[in-house]
Structure 1
Amino acid sequence: MLPYRSLLDRLHTQHESIDVIIRTLPHEKLVAAPVPGKWSIKDNIAHLARYQAVFIERINRIASGSRPLFESYVAEHDADFPAWQKWDLPILLDRLYADRKYIFDLVNGLSCTQVETTGRHQRFGEMKMIEWTEFFLLHEAHHLFTIFKLAHGATS
């Protein structure tokens, strides 16, 4: 199964909602943790940007055909994530947009054979490339909703 329209549409544009959500927010609102120990809006954006880099590594490994096994990604266990949290927001957004273009071009250019390659997730089992992309987008949507809620005063 080649990438379907809604998958490609979301992959191409879903992340753009960040700009709309945060456009008018003051810096203090972007960096304020809603409650101690919870991520700010900026931390959520750093997580999305970092996870895109992780996803690129994963889909390249899956495309190799070796059926790799991946553990669940946990930002708190990622030694690189704290550095991403320190990046300025414009740098994070630039990286997010650049990596998304790469991911979109890669997924959109998959051959029928590449679409059938699989990787294994410790919790969700074996998934084809399209399923991994759907998983990526659903994960991102969860964080976009969190960003939306934080922008509008919700703490959870």
Structure 2
Amino acid sequence: MNLSNSITSRLKFQHETIGELILNLDEQQLFKRPQPDKWNIHDNIAHLARYQHVFIERINQILNTENPLLGSYKADNDPEFISWQNKSTEELIQQISADRQDIIQLINTIPENQSDRKGSHPFFGNLNIAKWTERFLLHEAHHLFTIINLVNL
């Protein structure tokens, strides 16, 4: 599947920003909540790690089902999210890197005749795989922005 250079580059490297942002932080900084009910840096990283699996599942649904309905994902409603929060930050970052390779492999092996397959979302509408990948990357960028703001608290 051919993606734009922008999408391909971000898919390969954007996640590496996480490690750069938290390089000199200690455990206290990683787990400090900005407000009692708001996610800390670690929670945001756990979400990014878990969401990669959700993204892989969604791409596979698109490839295996005609125009599947892909519901809104909310980590707080995901029973698996807690197990991701319980992993160490280092383990999450390693998992993100490993899973990113799986995502790249999956996307790169999609035949051109399947690249226009679509999945529907109640808010985002009917998107092809390239647009889902763009949304995935923008979602990740949003959390990177959140992390950098939390680093500076």
Q: TM-score, normalised by structure 2?
A: 0.96
- Which secondary structure does the structure 1 equivalent of 2:115 belong to? helix
Contact 1:32 1:40 in 2 (8 A): yes
Question: Once the 2 structures are TM-superposed, how far is the Cα of residue 108 of structure 1 from its aligned partner?
Answer: 2.5
Question: Once the 2 structures are TM-superposed, how far is the Cα of residue 65 of structure 1 from its aligned partner?
Answer: 4.2
Question: Once the 2 structures are TM-superposed, how far is the Cα of residue 129 of structure 1 from its aligned partner?
Answer: 0.4
Contact 1:8 1:108 in 2 (8 A): no
1:25 and 2:25 aligned = yes
**Partner Cα distance (2:65, 2:88) in 1:** 37
The aligned residue for residue 99 of structure 1 is 99
The aligned residue for residue 135 of structure 2 is 135
Return the letter of the residue paired with 2:4: Y
Q: How many residue pairs are counted as aligned between the two chains? A: 153
Contact 1:65 1:118 in 2 (8 A): no
**Partner Cα distance (1:13, 1:57) in 2:** 21
The aligned residue for residue 35 of structure 2 is 35
The aligned residue for residue 108 of structure 1 is 108
Say which is worse superposed, 14-23 or 91-100, in terms of deviation. Answer: 91-100
Question: Once the 2 structures are TM-superposed, how far is the Cα of residue 110 of structure 1 from its aligned partner?
Answer: 2.3
Q: TM-score, normalised by structure 1?
A: 0.94
Aligned pairs for 1:62-101 (under 5 A) are 62-101=62-101
Contact 1:2 1:110 in 2 (8 A): no
Return the letter of the residue paired with 2:14: Q
After TM superposition, where is structure 1 displaced by more than 3 Å over at least 4 residues in a row? none
- Which secondary structure does the structure 2 equivalent of 1:69 belong to? coil
**Partner Cα distance (1:24, 1:114) in 2:** 43
Question: Once the 2 structures are TM-superposed, how far is the Cα of residue 14 of structure 1 from its aligned partner?
Answer: 0.3
Question: Once the 2 structures are TM-superposed, how far is the Cα of residue 111 of structure 1 from its aligned partner?
Answer: 2.0
Say which is worse superposed, 125-134 or 65-74, in terms of deviation. Answer: 65-74
Render the CA deviation track for 1:66-111: whole Å, top value 9, x for unaligned: 2110111000110111111111112111111111111012112322
Render the CA deviation track for 1:110-150: whole Å, top value 9, x for unaligned: 22112111111111111000000000000000000000110
**Partner Cα distance (1:143, 1:29) in 2:** 16
Contact 1:2 1:111 in 2 (8 A): no
- Which secondary structure does the structure 2 equivalent of 1:2 belong to? coil
Question: Once the 2 structures are TM-superposed, how far is the Cα of residue 29 of structure 1 from its aligned partner?
Answer: 0.3
Return the letter of the residue paired with 1:51: Y
Over the matched positions of the two proteins, sequence identity in percent amounts to: 46
